[in-house]
Chains A and B, each alone.
Chain A
C-alpha cells in the first residue's frame, strides 16, 4: 500500500525497501516538469531531509523524505525525461529507493483514502 505525506510525497514499502515519488496532485500543480535534481546514491537521510528538487518552468519544489534510510537507487530515466513525472508520477516517475528503513515511521503518514480527504480540504 502507498502512504502519503502532507507535502505530497508518496512512499511504498516492499520487503525492506521503500520507493518514493511525488503524488499526481503535486505533479499537476507544478505543471510541465523540466528537471529533476535527484538525490545521491549511498547518502543517508532522515525524515524531512531534502531528497531532491523538482523544477517546472516557474517553480521549484523540494522533495522531502517521509522516512529515514539509505538511498540505494535513483530513477536515472528522469535525467533524460523529466516529463515522466507528469506522465506517471505514482508509477514510472518514481524518484528514489531507500533501505535501512524503520517502518514505524510510516505511522505518521496518510493512507490513500486519508490523502484524498486531505486534498479535498485544501481546495
Chain B
C-alpha cells in the first residue's frame, strides 16, 4: 500500500483555515526563515481519510478479534469512556489554568476527576495515597523506585543501593531500577513458580533497598508466601514494591497495600479498560503507604475542607516533578468512568471471572501443551509449545497460524524462564463461546504440528503481508521516507 507521501500532489489541500484578519507582518526575521517548506504531503481530506481508514483495516484490535495477549489485559474498551473523554469541558482545558490566580476555580471539575480517581484507586488497592502523574506503567515503576530512593535517603541509608528482582520479572523492572539509580540482584523462583524464600534470604542484607515483585507473578501465579516475603524484606530494612501489571487477576479479591506492599503501580490501560492505542498512551498511577506519602511528586491534587479542590506545589520532601502536570488526564478520565460504571460489586467480579476464564483455558489445553508449573493459574496461563517444537513447530509458528484463523496470538517467549512460552490472558470480558473457538483453533494447530507441520510453519497465509525480514530491518534500517 502506498505511503501518504505517494498520494501527494502539489496544490491539493485538506483542511480549511480562517482568513488572515490582521496585518500580515510578523516578527520572524529573514535570516531565520525556512528556505524550503517542510515537505509535508498535499492531499485532499477525502484522500487522507480514505488512506488512513484503509490502513486501520489492516489491524487487528480488541473490537475485531479475540486478543489474548498475556500480561497486557486486552479487555473490552467501553465506549462510554470514549464519550466522556471527548467532552469539550475536559479536552479544551489548558493545563496551566489552575496555576493562575483564580484559575483553580475554573478547573474544579477536572481536579475532582483526578482526586476521586486517586481516592478510588487507593481504596481499591489498600493504600494511603496515590499519584496519577506517571504517564505509563514503566514510568510508574520509575516513580515507585524513586520514592524508595527518597525514603532511604531521608533516613541516611546511603548503603541501601540494591533492589531485588525475581528472575521472571518483566524487563521494565531492572531497567527502571537502573534509571532510578539502583543496582539489581536476581532472586530465583522455586519449582512452584513462587519466589525461592531461601534464595531471597541469601540476598537480603544491609544493602537491600527493597524488593520489586510482580503480584501475581509473570507466570500468572499467585505466590502463597507473599505476606511472608514482604515481612522478610521489611525486617531486613527494605520496602516492597508491587508491579501491578497483573492487577486484573486479583481485582476486588486482593488489595496489595493490605498484604505488605509499600508502593505499587497499576497500568490503567490494562486493568482499568483504557485503550492500548496501538502502543500508547497509557497511564501508570502509583499508590503508596503512609511511610512514602511525604515523597510523592508535586503538584498534588487535594480537597479542602469546604469541598473544593486545589493543587499543592510546595511539599518539602517531594521527589519533584516526574511529569509536566497532573498525569495523562484523558486516560485518567476513562478509568474514572470505568470505576464509576463497575462500582464495588463490578470491581469485585473482575478478578474472579478473569481467573475462571484463564483456568478454563489452561485445563482444556493442558493435554496438548506443557506447563512449567502444573497448578491452577490466575488470570493468565503460561503454556510451553515444547512438544510442538520437537516436531519443528515453534511458538512463533503457532502464533502465525492463529492469525490465519482470525485470532491475535497470545504473548510469545515471555516469561524468559519458560521455553517456547505462550502466555494466554482471555480477560473477563470474553464469552465462553469465544474461548471455546480459540481453544479449538489451538488444538487444531497442535494436531497439525503432528500430521502436517509444514502447513503451520508456512503461516500466515491469509494476511496482506507474510513473515517479514526482521534481520534486514535491523541490519539496514529504513526508518523514514524523506
Complex A–B touching at CB under 8 A: yes
Which residues of A are in contact with B by a Cβ distance under 8 Å? 32, 34-35, 55-58, 82-83
B475 within 8 A of A: yes
Closest CB of chain A to B222's CB: distance in Å? 30
B22 within 8 A of A: no
Contacting A at CB under 8 A, from B437-482, are: 470-471, 474-475
Q: Please name all residues of chain A whose beta carbon is closer than 8 Å to the beta carbon of B474 when the two chains form the complex.
A: 34-35, 55-57
Q: Please name all residues of chain B whose beta carbon is closer than 8 Å to the beta carbon of A34 when the two chains form the complex.
A: 471, 474-475
9 smallest beta-carbon distances between A and B, as pairs: A34-B474, A32-B471, A57-B470, A34-B475, A57-B474, A57-B471, A34-B471, A82-B475, A35-B474
Q: Please name all residues of chain B whose beta carbon is closer than 8 Å to the beta carbon of A56 when the two chains form the complex.
A: 471, 474
Closest CB of chain A to B414's CB: distance in Å? 11
Q: In the bound complex, how far is the Cα of B464 from the Cα of A77, in angstroms? A: 37
Q: In the bound complex, how far is the Cα of B420 from the Cα of A120, in angstroms? A: 22
Closest CB of chain B to A83's CB: distance in Å? 7
Main SS of chain A's interface residues?
A: loop
For this complex, 5 residue pairs linking A to B, each with C-beta atoms less than 8 Å apart, are A32-B475, A34-B471, A56-B471, A57-B471, A57-B474
Q: In the bound complex, how far is the Cα of B474 from the Cα of A58, in angstroms? A: 10
Q: Please name all residues of chain A whose beta carbon is closer than 8 Å to the beta carbon of B413 when the two chains form the complex.
A: 58
Q: In the bound complex, how far is the Cα of B474 from the Cα of A51, in angstroms? A: 21
Please tell me the size bucket of the interface on B.
Answer: under 10
Q: Please name all residues of chain A whose beta carbon is closer than 8 Å to the beta carbon of B471 when the two chains form the complex.
A: 32, 34, 56-57
Q: In the bound complex, how far is the Cα of B473 from the Cα of A56, in angstroms? A: 11
Q: Please name all residues of chain B whose beta carbon is closer than 8 Å to the beta carbon of A35 when the two chains form the complex.
A: 474-475
Closest CB of chain B to A54's CB: distance in Å? 12
Q: In the bound complex, how far is the Cα of B477 from the Cα of A34, in angstroms? A: 10
Q: Please name all residues of chain B whose beta carbon is closer than 8 Å to the beta carbon of A83 when the two chains form the complex.
A: 475
- What 0/1 readout, one digit per residue, does chain B (386-417) give for beta carbons within 8 Å of chain A? 00000000000000000000000000010000
Q: In the bound complex, how far is the Cα of B471 from the Cα of A32, in angstroms? A: 6
- What 0/1 readout, one digit per residue, does chain B (19-57) give for beta carbons within 8 Å of chain A? 000000000000000000000000000000000000000
Q: In the bound complex, how far is the Cα of B469 from the Cα of A34, in angstroms? A: 12
Report the nearest A residue to B474, measured CB to CB. A34
- What 0/1 readout, one digit per residue, does chain B (413-427) give for beta carbons within 8 Å of chain A? 100000000000000
Q: In the bound complex, how far is the Cα of B413 from the Cα of A56, in angstroms? A: 16
Q: Please name all residues of chain B whose beta carbon is closer than 8 Å to the beta carbon of A82 when the two chains form the complex.
A: 475
Q: Please name all residues of chain A whose beta carbon is closer than 8 Å to the beta carbon of B470 when the two chains form the complex.
A: 57
Q: In the bound complex, how far is the Cα of B413 from the Cα of A57, in angstroms? A: 14
Closest CB of chain B to A81's CB: distance in Å? 9
Q: In the bound complex, how far is the Cα of B416 from the Cα of A58, in angstroms? A: 12
Q: In the bound complex, how far is the Cα of B250 from the Cα of A69, in angstroms? A: 54
Closest CB of chain A to B233's CB: distance in Å? 30
Q: Please name all residues of chain B whose beta carbon is closer than 8 Å to the beta carbon of A57 when the two chains form the complex.
A: 470-471, 474
Q: Please name all residues of chain A whose beta carbon is closer than 8 Å to the beta carbon of B475 when the two chains form the complex.
A: 32, 34-35, 82-83
Closest CB of chain A to B115's CB: distance in Å? 43
Closest CB of chain B to A72's CB: distance in Å? 27
Q: In the bound complex, how far is the Cα of B474 from the Cα of A80, in angstroms? A: 12
Q: In the bound complex, how far is the Cα of B471 from the Cα of A57, in angstroms? A: 6
Closest CB of chain B to A94's CB: distance in Å? 19
Interface centre among A55, A57, A83 (most CB of B within 10 A): A57
Report the nearest B residue to A31, measured CB to CB. B471
Q: In the bound complex, how far is the Cα of B25 from the Cα of A26, in angstroms? A: 65
Q: In the bound complex, how far is the Cα of B475 from the Cα of A82, in angstroms? A: 8
Report the nearest B residue to A83, measured CB to CB. B475
Closest CB of chain B to A55's CB: distance in Å? 7
Q: In the bound complex, how far is the Cα of B473 from the Cα of A55, in angstroms? A: 13
Q: In the bound complex, how far is the Cα of B471 from the Cα of A58, in angstroms? A: 9
In addition to A35-B474, A56-B471, A83-B475, 13 A-B residue pairs with Cβ atoms within 8 Å of each other are A32-B471, A32-B475, A34-B471, A34-B474, A34-B475, A35-B475, A55-B474, A56-B474, A57-B470, A57-B471, A57-B474, A58-B413, A82-B475
Closest CB of chain A to B299's CB: distance in Å? 39
Interface centre among B413, B470, B474 (most CB of A within 10 A): B474
Q: In the bound complex, how far is the Cα of B471 from the Cα of A56, in angstroms? A: 7
Q: Please name all residues of chain B whose beta carbon is closer than 8 Å to the beta carbon of A58 when the two chains form the complex.
A: 413
Q: Please name all residues of chain B whose beta carbon is closer than 8 Å to the beta carbon of A55 when the two chains form the complex.
A: 474
Closest CB of chain A to B463's CB: distance in Å? 20
Q: In the bound complex, how far is the Cα of B476 from the Cα of A82, in angstroms? A: 10
Q: In the bound complex, how far is the Cα of B413 from the Cα of A97, in angstroms? A: 36
